Chain A
Amino acid sequence: MLDDLLNRRFFLGSAAAVGAGMVGALPAVSTGKAFAQAAAPAAPKGPQYLKYPGKNDQLVLLGDRPLVAETPENLLDDDTTPTEKLFVRNNGQIPEEVKDPDQWKFVIDGEVKNKVEMTLGELKSKFKPVTRRIVLECGGNGRSFFSPETRGNQWTNGGVGCPEWTGVRLADVLKIAGVKPSAVFTGHYGSDPHLSGDAGKQAISRGVPIKKLMDENNLLVWALNGQPLPNIHGGPLRLIIPGWPGSVSAKWLTRIWVRDRYHDGQGMGQFSYRVAVKPMVPGDKADEKNFRDLESMPVRSIITSPANGAKIAAGTKDIKLRGAAWAGDLTVKLVEVSTDFGATWTKAKLQAPKNKYDWQRWTSVVKLPSDGYYEIWTRGIDSRGVAQPHIAGSWNPQGYGGNQMHRVAVLVG
């Protein structure tokens, strides 16, 4: 098979012909030679940045295919994350933008008394809209902090944002559907094609237990920061299931399947979005039976100003800090900062969330004794008293729950 794969280089040369309608026929290879002889593009050096219409060009590109980009901590300095700064995570291909959003159809079926089949237009007209500022966070946020390395996109802390979402409460729609007592779990479906293009496979299809499904904070969303939900963020219609890995908040939502058993869709089971029950030796072969789904995301505090690497004028003694903290299903009770690598801590001024599942902005002023090199560290402590650790512990093969303390280095003078 590999010899054939090597021919793909030649094959690519005739891709235009394939695109022009030759699918199914064996491609002609004669045009391939020119392609093969063309000089290979130089490997890009250093971090790559996202170039996408409507998106900030300082988002760091983690991958082109699927398209994945994270927001550096210092770009999360707005109280409400602007759409252009919201991270991008795709598991499959990005579907084509729809022409008439109000005609978008979705279904709620399975263990319900009345199957719901509705267009977005009907949804908008039948239910009372709500707007909430809610954290959306990738389940793998912080993965790059694990040692040894874990498999997947190497997120730092930037797989997160907290914009304003407008939609209707999923609970209101579920009232009409009437969830049966036999309901156990959900399976969520979107229209994004699997990366391979195989129409029989989902790019991703995850779900939640019924208790989480019934949470009144879950939304069916069609607007982001007051504008129609952009295609790249799952428009015209997506789910927002706050506090849990972003992958349960299906983009391009077409179906919520209420099931009488645990969901077996793409991205469920084995090691996907799962953590070890009995702690395992980092890097060891993992045993599937020892794993459970990651549910609430762990507590995380980030410094959004100054930026890592900031140079500060000589003689500056007071450094003003700004940041944000959140804790999945919980709230953040305390944010602390340190300028001595965690030897001593001071309490930051922490705001209350605007609404449940909002992040909490914080500020602090730290005093430095002299010019020089300093690191500013922060840690959040959640409402149950659980703090962020110094390192990403609880190793698991795909690197979930990596919430080690955030630090930025600054040079004064």
Chain B
Amino acid sequence: MRRAWLAISGTALVVLVTSIVQQLHAQTQQPGFVQREEAPEEFPSGAGRDETFYACTACHGFQLVAQQGMNRRQWDESVALMSQKHNMPPLDDKDRETILNYLETSFPPRAAPRGGWKNPFTNR
């Protein structure tokens, strides 16, 4: 385990450590507000779920990811954006493949517009 950690690239480790400290910080710094801790098991199961969950929750909740529905190209662009704009350590080809496979399968564009308006009287 310790060896695995030592193998992490400098940036990845910094991101992880800072994010965890921040998470703690966020929980203690706003009096009266408790941030819910998410777990990968809450999200659609499938190959690459845990990897994707941990790669994508260093900065924000997975809910921000899971509320989207996009095709592979759009997911690819979104993941690239995380590196371009927000300093996410770039993923190598193998990791990108794993993550995109999971995102594409689990959060595709939803068939019907699932917009904010839902008929409150159907499926009662």
Give A residues with C-beta under 8 Å from B. 1-12, 15-16, 18-19, 23-24, 26-27, 29, 40-44, 51-53, 62-67, 93-94, 96-97, 142, 144-149, 151, 153-157, 193-198, 201, 231-232, 266, 283, 285, 308-309, 373, 392, 397, 406-407, 409, 411
B36 CB contacts on chain A under 8 angstroms? 41, 44, 64
B113 CB contacts on chain A under 8 angstroms? 145, 147
Q: Which 5 A-B pairs have the closest CB atoms?
A: A156-B116, A309-B120, A43-B42, A53-B32, A40-B41
Given A8-B16, A15-B20, CB of A144 within 8 Å of CB of B4: no
Contact among A41, A196, A411 for B42, CB-based, below 8 A? A41
B74 CB contacts on chain A under 8 angstroms? 151, 283, 397
Given A1-B91, A66-B60, A373-B121, CB of A151 within 8 Å of CB of B78: yes
Is A149 touching B121 in the complex (CB atoms < 8 A)? Answer: no
B73 CB contacts on chain A under 8 angstroms? 285
Is A197 touching B41 in the complex (CB atoms < 8 A)? Answer: no
A10 and B36 CA atoms in complex are apart in Å by 18
A-B contact pairs, 8 of them (CB 8 A): A52-B30, A52-B33, A53-B33, A63-B67, A64-B38, A197-B22, A231-B30, A411-B121
Contact among B31, B32, B67 for A153, CB-based, below 8 A? B67
Chain B residue with Cβ nearest A156 = B116
Is A18 touching B51 in the complex (CB atoms < 8 A)? Answer: no
Chain A residue with Cβ nearest B64 = A63
A155 CB contacts on chain B under 8 angstroms? 116
B104 CB → nearest A CB, Å: 14
B63 CB contacts on chain A under 8 angstroms? 62-64
Question: Total A-B pairs in contact (CB under 8 Å)?
Answer: 193
A151 and B91 CA atoms in complex are apart in Å by 21
A145 CB contacts on chain B under 8 angstroms? 113, 115-117
Given A7-B4, A64-B63, CB of A93 within 8 Å of CB of B25: yes
B6 CB contacts on chain A under 8 angstroms? 26
Contact among B4, B92, B115 for A4, CB-based, below 8 A? B4
A12 CB contacts on chain B under 8 angstroms? 20
Contact among B17, B51, B78 for A5, CB-based, below 8 A? B51
A66 CB contacts on chain B under 8 angstroms? 60, 64
Contact among A6, A53, A65, A157 for B54, CB-based, below 8 A? A6
Is A40 touching B42 in the complex (CB atoms < 8 A)? Answer: yes
Give B residues with C-beta under 8 Å from A. 1-2, 4-9, 12, 15-26, 29-43, 50-51, 54-55, 58-61, 63-64, 67-71, 73-74, 77-78, 85-89, 91-92, 95, 98-99, 109-110, 113-117, 119-121
A314 CB → nearest B CB, Å: 16
A141 CB → nearest B CB, Å: 10
Is A1 touching B95 in the complex (CB atoms < 8 A)? Answer: yes
A308 CB contacts on chain B under 8 angstroms? 117, 120
Chain A residue with Cβ nearest B82 = A196
> Contacts A63-B63, A65-B64, A154-B67 given; 19 further ones with Cβ under 8 A?
A2-B95, A4-B5, A8-B16, A15-B23, A18-B20, A18-B21, A43-B41, A44-B42, A93-B22, A93-B26, A96-B29, A149-B109, A195-B59, A196-B15, A196-B87, A201-B86, A283-B109, A373-B121, A409-B120
A187 and B74 CA atoms in complex are apart in Å by 29
Contact among A27, A41, A43 for B5, CB-based, below 8 A? A27
Is A148 touching B32 in the complex (CB atoms < 8 A)? Answer: no
B45 CB → nearest A CB, Å: 11
Chain A residue with Cβ nearest B55 = A5
A29 and B41 CA atoms in complex are apart in Å by 21
Is B86 touching A19 in the complex (CB atoms < 8 A)? Answer: no
Given A2-B98, A197-B21, CB of A41 within 8 Å of CB of B91: no
A137 and B19 CA atoms in complex are apart in Å by 29
A93 CB contacts on chain B under 8 angstroms? 22, 25-26
Given A19-B21, A195-B60, CB of A29 within 8 Å of CB of B2: yes
Contact among A53, A157, A195 for B31, CB-based, below 8 A? A53
Is A26 touching B2 in the complex (CB atoms < 8 A)? Answer: yes
Chain A residue with Cβ nearest B5 = A26
Chain A residue with Cβ nearest B41 = A40
A6 CB contacts on chain B under 8 angstroms? 50-51, 54
Is B24 touching A201 in the complex (CB atoms < 8 A)? Answer: no
B11 CB → nearest A CB, Å: 10
A351 and B43 CA atoms in complex are apart in Å by 47
Is A309 touching B85 in the complex (CB atoms < 8 A)? Answer: no
Is A94 touching B117 in the complex (CB atoms < 8 A)? Answer: no
A2 CB → nearest B CB, Å: 4
Given A4-B5, A195-B60, CB of A148 within 8 Å of CB of B109: yes
Contact among A23, A153, A231 for B17, CB-based, below 8 A? A23
A157 and B30 CA atoms in complex are apart in Å by 27
B2 CB contacts on chain A under 8 angstroms? 26, 29
Is A1 touching B89 in the complex (CB atoms < 8 A)? Answer: yes
A10 and B67 CA atoms in complex are apart in Å by 26
